[in-house]
């Protein structure tokens, strides 16, 4: 069975159903087992249904497909104690999430309730980053948000209405929880802020993140009474503050306070606070992405190399476009020795994106999440500019500003 070939769900589901009937897990046990696969952290090193007994040597993305499917299937089986009607329910659920606005399916008509349609939905939801320049860069870390679909699907099965509203609110709470978690760090790095930007650029249900919430009490966590919802919020907060050394005191106290607000047992809080660290350390050889003490730093450095290559390859065209935007060049030059104002930064961003539209190879910056890469573009442009640009900077100042 190959999760990259059509028809894989039809072959896989009998095996999955057998596993569920043999193990008879409740939702909490299923969640804990799923946590061990790495799926909830966005990096599946194994699968719930096969464990170490993979019939083929699957890729990480193929394991993610299986774990994602198994989670949706289990949510339905746990609800109905049967697989009958699963495809009808899952297509109804995703259709309710407004495909025109969110482009979940890649087409706008309601998908047929069958295995083939579900395969397409799963493929659409999982970001493969292949080729990497044609995908949202922030998706390198945000497959951890896939479980939001599972929680929303469980809500849909039990409530039947307002699934998109519930999903939007839960996602907003999750993002604000991550924001608060990052703010607890005793030593904040630039990469911690970038991490939040990367999460925010990959919001699946909402268009933006409100940062008005300043403390745990503002999160309104009482709206999420189910144990799985609570554990997921806590585990994502633990993932956000992970780093190579042990968790510092302020981070631990935040997770402890968050767990108490979620009314979780002390042992559950302790497990969540420490498990992500143990998981990554134990599986470091399987997860290239976490081979850096700060995975976002690793991602950023790799992306820096890619962006530099793109800029050098398009040097002539880029210089031509820049020469026609003297105001932009002036602001870029001034940014090397002073902080630009909010309006100036907005002008730089708008004009740079306009230039990127005219250079096909730089369309990467126009992709969802591409905005977080603009500082890299700004960083390398001064190295390309001829001396004449700097010589004329003061002469142009009164004319352009």
User: In this predicted model, what pLDDT tens digit does every residue of 340-365 receive, in sequence order?
Assistant: 888 888 888 888 878 877 776 676 66
Q: In the chain, what percentage of residues exceed pLDDT 90?
A: 23
Q: What is the pLDDT of residue 79?
A: 94
Residue 106 in tokens: 């890649």
DSSP assigned state of 120:
H
pLDDT in tens, 217-251: 877 788 788 999 999 999 988 887 776 556 677 78
Give the HSE-up count for residue 44: Cα atoms under 13 Å, Cβ half-sphere: 30
Q: In the chain, what percentage of residues exceed pLDDT 70?
A: 69
Place of tokens 């407004």: 98
Q: What is the pLDDT of residue 192?
A: 60
Mean pLDDT computed over every residue of the chain = 76
Q: Flag whether pLDDT at 50 surpasses 80.
A: yes
Q: What is the pLDDT of residue 135?
A: 41
pLDDT in tens, 180-218: 877 776 665 555 666 666 656 555 666 555 555 667 887
Q: What is the pLDDT of residue 10?
A: 94
Residue 93 in tokens: 């659920």
pLDDT in tens, 66-101: 999 999 999 999 999 999 999 999 998 988 775 444
Q: Flag whether pLDDT at 14 surpasses 90.
A: yes
Sign of CA dihedral 210, 121, 92, 49: negative
Give dist(CA 245, CA 164) in Å, integer. 38
With 0-12 CB in 10 A as exposed, 13-18 as middle and 19+ as buried, what is 305?
exposed
Over residues 166-175, mean pLDDT: 82
Domain ranges in the chain? 8-290, 295-400
**How far does CA 29 lie from the centroid of its chain?**
25
Q: What is the pLDDT of residue 389?
A: 45
Give dist(CA 401, CA 398) in Å, integer. 6
Helix residue ranges, H only, 184-246:
190-200, 227-240
Global confidence as pTM: 0.69
pLDDT in tens, 141-170: 557 778 989 999 999 999 877 778 888 888
């Amino acid at each position: 069975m190959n999760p990259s070939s059509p028809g894989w769900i039809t072959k896989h589901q009998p095996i999955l159903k057998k596993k569920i009937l043999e193990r008879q897990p409740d939702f909490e046990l299923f969640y804990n087992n799923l946590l061990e696969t790495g799926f909830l952290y966005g990096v599946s090193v194994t699968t719930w249904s096969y464990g170490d007994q993979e019939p083929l040597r699957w890729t990480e993305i193929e394991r993610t497909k299986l774990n994602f499917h198994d989670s949706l299937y289990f949510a339905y089986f746990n609800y109905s104690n049967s697989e009958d009607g699963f495809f009808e329910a899952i297509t109804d659920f995703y259709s309710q999430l407004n495909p025109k606005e969110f482009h979940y399916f890649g087409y706008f008509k309601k998908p047929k309730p069958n295995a083939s349609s579900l395969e397409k939905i799963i493929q659409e939801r999982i970001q493969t980053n292949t080729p990497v320049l044609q995908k949202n860069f922030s998706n390198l870390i945000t497959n951890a948000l896939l479980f939001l679909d599972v929680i929303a699907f469980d809500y849909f099965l039990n409530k039947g209405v307002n699934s998109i509203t519930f999903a939007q609110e839960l996602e907003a709470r999750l993002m604000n929880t991550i924001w608060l978690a990052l703010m607890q760090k005793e030593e904040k790095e630039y990469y911690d802020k970038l991490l939040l930007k990367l999460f925010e650029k990959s919001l699946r249900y909402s268009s933006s993140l409100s940062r008005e919430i300043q403390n745990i009490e503002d999160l309104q966590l009482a709206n999420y009474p189910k144990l799985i919802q609570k554990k997921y919020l806590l585990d994502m907060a633990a993932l956000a503050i992970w780093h190579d050394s042990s968790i510092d005191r302020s981070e631990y106290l935040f997770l402890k306070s968050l767990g108490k607000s979620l009314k979780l047992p002390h042992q559950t809080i302790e497990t969540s606070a420490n498990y992500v660290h143990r998981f990554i350390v134990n599986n470091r050889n399987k997860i290239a992405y976490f081979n850096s003490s700060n995975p976002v730093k690793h991602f950023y450095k790799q992306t820096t190399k890619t962006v530099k290559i793109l800029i050098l390859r398009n040097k002539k065209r880029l210089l031509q476009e820049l020469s026609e935007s003297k105001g932009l060049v002036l602001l870029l030059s001034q940014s090397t020795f002073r902080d630009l104002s909010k309006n100036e930064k907005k002008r730089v961003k708008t004009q740079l994106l306009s230039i990127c539209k005219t250079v096909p190879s730089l369309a990467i910056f126009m992709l969802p999440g591409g905005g977080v890469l603009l500082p890299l573009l700004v960083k390398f442009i001064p190295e390309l500019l001829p001396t004449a640009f700097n010589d004329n900077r003061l002469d142009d100042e009164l004319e352009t500003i």
